[in-house]
Amino acid sequence: MDKLELKSAFAADDTGAIAGNAWVFDTPDRIGDIIEKGAFTFPARLPILFAHDPAEPVGVWDDITETRTGLSVRGRLLVDDVARAREVRALVQAGAITGLSIGFTVKNATGRKGGGRNIKSLELAEISLVTVPMHPKARVTSAKSASDLLAITDAINRAALAFRTQGN
């Protein structure tokens, strides 16, 4: 049985439109995994979940594109139809939710010296809005009223990296 893994910047406007970077290439996540360019396979659309909870769909990703720097996503929170989507949009705009995290199944990976893996192939299952993403560079890119809180996100990411480094 394949194991579903969770990893991951984004923003939401008043209409629910949301965009960001779900993964950044060439930098490890908090456990040392690096996803290689070209590794992603995914359907045309994926759900936007809140905190990887399949019972909390709040929208849909309409455009998922692998760029030279990472996985770029655009979608929409279903704020006109789903009460939880309105709540999540408010949390994003306030800066309480600042990250994206991907859920996927690894198809091909090799171990890395010092820990983690180089993931060469994976199947993307979902992309979630989260408070603390697995990837230290996953953050909100355009949410109104959240820019002041990006400094807090940076501090959390630096602390998590320092904690991980001390454990080695």
Q: Where are the domains of the chain?
A: 4-166
123 is catalytic: no
Q: Where is pLDDT greater, at 114 or 38?
A: 38
135 is catalytic: no
pLDDT of 98: 84
Task: Give per-residue pLDDT as tens, 92-140.
Answer: 888 888 889 999 999 999 998 888 999 999 999 999 999 877 776 665 5
Choosing from 5, 8, 72, 126, the catalytic residue is 126
Type of residue found at 150: L
Q: Which residues contact 110 (CB under 8 A, 6 or more apart)?
A: 117, 118, 120
Choosing from 72, 101, 128, 135, the catalytic residue is 101
Task: Give per-residue pLDDT as tens, 134-159.
Answer: 776 665 555 433 333 344 444 445 55
78 in Cβ contact with 59 (< 8 Å): yes
Choosing from 52, 56, 121, 142, the catalytic residue is 52
- Give the phi and the psi of residue 103 in degrees, each rounded to 5: -110, 130
87 in Cβ contact with 50 (< 8 Å): no
- Name the residue with tokens 């002041």: 148
Range in 5-19, 36-50, 109-123 with the lowest mean pLDDT: 5-19
87 is catalytic: no
